Amino acid sequence: MLNKIFDLVNKIFDLVRDVYKSMVYHTPKEELNKLEIENIKSNGLIHFCNSENIDKILQEGVKWGWKPPLVKAEKNYTWYYIYDSTTYEKNKRIVHSKGERKSYDAYVIIKELKDEQMNKLRIRRKYDNAVIYPGTLKTETMDAHYIEE
C-alpha cells in the first residue's frame, strides 16, 4: 500500500514538473550544439502531421499556420524533433498528447538542410528537445511516412 502511495506521489510530482517546464521553457531558444547539428545532418528532422497534408508539405515545405500557435510568440514557427529511431516513440507520444495533434497519423523526415537553415533552428533542450524553425522549411530531400499503430 505504501508503495502505491509513493508511486502516485511520484507521478503527481512528475506531472507538476512537466507542466512547469512546458510553461517556463515553452518557446525553444537555444542554438544547436555540434552533436545536434551532426545528428540532423545524418538523420534529419521529423515533423508529425496529418496524412491529408503530406502532398502539400512535400510540394511546398512545412509551413506555419496549419494550427494556431499554443503561445502567441510562436506564430510563424514550424515544429520538429531531431530524427532518431531511439526517440521516435517518445516524441510521437509527446505530440499525440497535445489536443488535436493526437490525430496525427503521418510524419515527414526532412534532410539536407542548408547551413543558413541550420543556423535558424532553435531547440528546447530543458524540456523535450523540440526544435523550431522560423517560417517555411523545405529541402530537396523530404520523405513522408505513415504512423503504424
pLDDT digits (tens, 9 = 90+) for 116-147: 999 999 999 877 899 999 999 999 999 999 99
pLDDT tens, 4-44?
787 777 777 666 655 555 554 457 688 999 999 999 999 99
**Percent of residues, the chain, with pLDDT higher than 70:** 82
Identify the pLDDT of residue 66.
60
Task: List pLDDT tens digits, range 63-87.
Answer: 987 666 565 555 688 999 999 999 9
Q: How many CB atoms lie within 10 A of CB 149?
A: 4
Query: How far, rounded to the nearest angstrom, does the alpha carbon of residue 96 sit from its chain's CA centroid?
Result: 11
Confidence (pTM):
0.78
Average pLDDT of span 50-72: 82
> Is 57 buried (19+), middle (13-18) or exposed (0-12) by CB count in 10 A?
buried
If 0-12 CB within 10 Å is exposed, 13-18 middle and 19+ buried, where does residue 130 land? buried
